């Protein structure tokens, strides 16, 4: 049965995040609860022309309302990051299409590609793929042991573990990475400073040289003028 | 069906690796001799990283089994996946990625020749936060720049950037002829979309999807890879207007993009 869940979030940091967040929340809830739709409201917005959302009742078919206000704050990572392990919904849609294209979705007429299915199940663990296959298999009777195993509690636990393991890959950069990037930035700044001072030094040297040449030019011109004058007097 | 090539007198040999660093995935479609040259360059290019090479041999109706025959005669240690039907470029890449064991995937066309040290800078580029896809500069055999990434225009057309940058640079997208991505990232992005079957614009779509998630496709100018171009298949390159239409349907906001100045 489809569940409808209301989610109320504060109006910061950006409304555009609300949309992405809604998709992620919906995907995460669907992964755990089955068929779910999310009714997302942002605190501060209005329903219709005059009615602030805070004063509006939720529709009667909303089963549960969640407020995410406590999940926002300067010291709290964004909710989307908290759900970083969740598959990006757009990616899941594409992935579902590709699994179907590769004959890996357990759907009629069940012409599953056995070698690729073995690779999917036994090689590198791909939580998104496994979850999508298990999700498709859960609603129908599939007589393929490898697929059936994904629907069993042990298989489901394996997929959950795979999602948990994947968190590290999607987490913010590690201290090592940050340290390396900071070092690279500092080195680049230092190099830029050295180059800038080198340029300034060269510029100053050129200016001095130009001044000296101009002075020498003046002296020579004066000598030339005197010589020309002397020559005229002699004649 | 998956097999390993075992030519008794190979022109190119991929040394087996228990735990390869990089899985190179090549999609063939009636590809001829050039694929052996590609694998020879992969096997001889100096690198500290261990690789495995997976060729997905999409059967071409005019020359079925041609690539597999070339590979079995002239290579050893190459894993050949024979899907039995044409999965297209994206589907072939995904079939190869499924059997790949490494944490990093390199999708390489069967008419690409890689130089010494090609992998390390590309893999290193993926360490930078926000970078999803790293690509080299594609050059002609005479080293003229073929593309250093591409721009995507408002009408969905793609325009190659002909000047190689002097540092790692973000681009709209880059041809899937040679690109490197971590397996986790590829899964996170969702991989290639079969809507573009059999080929073209699936790489544009994937790069745009990465960008919609706040991630980037970058060109690493330290790596220049020869792309022979047009030799990967006996078919002529077609305009792929149907695929471009799909791209515009999927990414309607492209229409709001300004033409390049």
pLDDT in tens, A13-55: 555 556 666 666 777 777 777 778 877 777 766 666 666 666 6
Is the pLDDT at A87 greater than 70? The verdict is no
Q: Which residues of A touch B197 (CB under 8 A)?
A: 101
Backbone torsions φ then ψ of B145, nearest 5 degrees: -70, 125
pLDDT (0 to 100) of residue A171: 45
pLDDT, chain B, mean? 90
Determine the pLDDT at residue A84: 45
Q: Which residue has the higher pLDDT, A87 or B68?
A: B68
Residue B197: closest C-alpha in chain A: A101
Judged by DSSP in three states, B200 sits in coil
Could you tell me the pLDDT band of residue A82, with boundaries at 50, 70 and 90? very low
3-class DSSP string for chain B = CEEEEECCCCCEECCCCCCCCEEEEEEEECCCCHHHHHHHHHHHCCCCCCEEEEEEEECCCCCCCHHHHHHHHHEEEEEEECCCCCCHHHHHHHHHHHHCCCCEEEEECCCEECCCCCHHHHHHHCCCCCEEEEEEEEECCCCCEEECCEEECCCCCEEECCCCCCCCEEECECCCCEEEEEHHHHHHHCCCCHHHCCCCCHHHHHHHHHHHCCCEEEEEEEEEEEECCCCCCCCCCCCCHHHHHHHHHHCHHHHHCCCCC
* Whether the predicted pLDDT of A170 surpasses 50: no
Q: How confident is the model over B54-72, as pLDDT tens digits?
A: 999 999 988 888 898 899 8
> What average pLDDT does chain A have?
77
Q: Which pLDDT tens digit goes with each residue over A45-81?
A: 666 666 666 667 777 888 888 777 666 555 544 454 4
| Tokens standing for residue A29 | 């809830």
Instruction: Report, as ranges of residue numbers, the positions in chain B whose pLDDT lies below 50.
Output: 260-261
**Closest residue by Cα to residue B195 from A38, A6, A98:** A98
Confidence of residue A167 (pLDDT cuts 50, 70, 90): low
User: What is the pLDDT at residue A161?
Assistant: 78
Contacts of B194 by beta carbon, 8 Å cutoff, 6+ apart: A97, A98, A100, A101, B88, B90, B91
What is the distance between the alpha carbons of residues B82 and A73, in angstroms, rounded to a whole number?
53
Kindly tell me if the per-residue pLDDT of A191 is higher than 90: no
Other Cβ atoms closer than 10 A to A59: 9
Task: Say if the ipTM goes beyond 0.85.
Answer: yes
Tell me the C-alpha to C-alpha distance, in Å, between residue A44 and each of A39, A72, B89.
Answer: 15, 15, 48
pTM score of the predicted model: 0.72
According to the model, what pLDDT value does residue B253 have? 76
| Spatial CB neighbours of A182, under 8 Å, sequence gap ≥ 6 | none
CB within 8 Å: A90 and B195 = no
CA atoms within 13 A on the CB side of B36: 19
Q: Find the helix or strand (DSSP H, E) in which B121 lies.
A: helix B119-125
Nearest C-alpha of chain B: how many angstroms from A114? 9
A169–B209 CB contact, under 8 Å = no
Q: What is the pLDDT of residue A14?
A: 55
Q: Note the pLDDT of residue B154.
A: 84
Cα–Cα distance between A130 and A132 in angstroms, integer?
5
Contact A94 B2 (CB under 8 A): no
**Hey, of B27, B101, B190, which one would you mutate to test binding to chain A, going by the most A CBs within 10 A of its CB?**
B190
In the prediction, which pLDDT does A83 show? Answer: 47
Chain B: residue whose CA lies nearest to A180: B128
Q: What element of type H or E holds A5?
A: strand A3-9
């Amino acid at each position: 049965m489809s569940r409808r869940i209301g989610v109320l979030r504060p109006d910061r940091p950006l409304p555009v995040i609300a949309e992405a967040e809604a998709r992620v929340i919906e995907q995460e809830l669907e992964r755990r609860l089955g068929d779910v739709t999310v009714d997302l409201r942002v605190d501060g917005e209005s329903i219709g022309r005059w009615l602030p959302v805070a004063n509006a009742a939720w529709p009667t078919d909303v089963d549960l309302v969640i407020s995410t206000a406590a999940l926002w704050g300067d010291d709290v990572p964004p909710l989307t990051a908290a759900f970083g392990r969740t598959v990006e919904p757009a990616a899941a849609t594409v992935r579902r299409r590709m699994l179907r294209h590769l004959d890996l979705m357990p759907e009629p007429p069940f012409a599953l590609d056995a070698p690729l299915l073995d690779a999917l199940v036994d090689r590198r663990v791909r939580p998104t793929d496994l979850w999508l296959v298990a999700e498709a298999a859960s609603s129908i009777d599939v007589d393929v042991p490898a697929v059936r195993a994904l629907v069993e509690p042990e298989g489901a636990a394996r997929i959950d573990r795979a999602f948990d393991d994947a968190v590290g890959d999607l987490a913010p950069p590690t201290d090592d990475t940050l340290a390396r990037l900071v070092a690279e930035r500092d080195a680049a700044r230092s190099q830029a400073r050295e180059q800038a001072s080198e340029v300034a030094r060269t510029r100053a040297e050129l200016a001095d040289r130009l001044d000296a040449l101009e002075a020498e030019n003046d002296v020579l011109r004066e000598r030339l003028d005197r010589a020309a004058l002397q020559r005229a007097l002699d004649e | 069906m998956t097999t390993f090539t075992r030519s008794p007198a190979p022109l190119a040999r991929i040394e087996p690796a228990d735990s390869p660093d990089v899985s190179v995935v090549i999609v063939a479609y009636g590809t001829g001799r050039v694929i052996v040259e590609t694998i020879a360059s992969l096997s001889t290019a100096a690198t500290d990283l261990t690789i495995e090479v997976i060729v997905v041999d999409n059967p071409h109706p005019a020359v079925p089994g041609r690539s597999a025959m070339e590979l079995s005669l002239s290579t050893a240690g190459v894993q050949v996946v024979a899907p039995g039907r044409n999965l297209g470029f994206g589907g072939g890449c995904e079939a190869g990625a499924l059997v790949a064991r490494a944490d990093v995937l390199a999708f390489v066309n069967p008419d690409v020749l890689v130089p010494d040290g090609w992998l390390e800078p590309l893999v290193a580029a993926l360490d930078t936060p926000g970078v999803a896809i790293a690509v080299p500069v594609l050059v002609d055999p005479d080293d003229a720049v073929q593309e250093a990434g591409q721009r995507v225009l408002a009408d969905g057309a793609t325009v190659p950037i002909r000047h190689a940058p002097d540092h790692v640079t973000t681009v709209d997208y880059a041809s899937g002829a040679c690109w490197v991505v971590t397996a986790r990232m590829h899964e996170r992005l969702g991989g290639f979309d079969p809507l573009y079957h059999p080929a073209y614009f699936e790489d544009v779509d994937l790069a745009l999807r990465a960008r919609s998630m706040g991630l980037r496709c970058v060109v690493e100018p330290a790596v220049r890879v020869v792309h022979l171009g047009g030799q990967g298949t006996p078919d002529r390159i077609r305009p792929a207007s149907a695929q471009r239409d799909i791209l515009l349907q999927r990414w309607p906001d492209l229409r709001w993009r300004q033409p390049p100045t």
